[in-house]
Amino acid sequence: MWAVTGPGDLGARIASWRAGGRRIAFVPTMGNLHAGHLALVQRARALAERVVVSVFVNPTQFAPGEDYDSYPRTLEADRRRLEAAGVDLLFAPEVRAIYPHAVQIDASYPVPTVGQGLEDAFRPGFFSGVITVVKRLFDLVAPDVAVFGEKDYQQLCVVRAMVRELGLPIDIASVETVREADGLALSSRNQYLSAHEREIAPQLQRTLREVAAAVGAGETAFARLESQAMERLRGVGFVPDYVCLRAVETLRPLAVGARAGVVLAAARLGRARLIDNVIF
């Protein structure tokens, strides 16, 4: 596995693969890798002949007071895991390689409609930062396909919309959320949980499954289901930001009679802010 930090070295390796007619898959990450990330790598290996993974903690998607400085950085351990997983190239740039002039959001492209509300309402500017870094990484790697996890479902929808609206020649593939045995979605921020909070945390997914099951059973009072789910989470110790029923592709409020939907949630538990969703 090659490991590079500069766009020049990255571009040279990509160019050599292109010259050989190789298909390239890309997995962007913020590092501190776990089994969920490795599932993305596995999917990427099935979709292309060469796999590039980036490890970059992006400052523009953290609001003031969030955990940018304390976000876990484990590059050497990440490198070993990626090499064992069969990754061809690790791109681990410094901030100046991604933001050579200033660390700021690129305002030339607005956040797609699917990025408005939900996460963006509680983390203003979050998706502007996501779009900025993903577009920059796409420009540098120029992949044929990029792989994202469904745990960050709204982010997945935003990236798909960006690619579609900008006409980028990149396929976006997704991988189902990887979970612990008790249902908790894998996340780098799970390590913020105390032992007691870790026991409570799986109730987020259980609550969402109950909402999805109620809709599947014919319940149409969606606002009441959302409110009840919020109360259930508060009752066990969460501080929920939202529980929302939405259309799968547009993320508009779920319409009665829709054939598919997704229930999304974000909730704080101690120091951790957990997000999850259930597609039904």
Active site residues: 37
For residue 170, which of 82, 47, 258, 31 has the smallest C-alpha distance?
47
Measured CA to CA, the distance from residue 226 to residue 80 in angstroms comes to 42
Is 97:5 a contact under the CB 8 Å cutoff?
Answer: yes
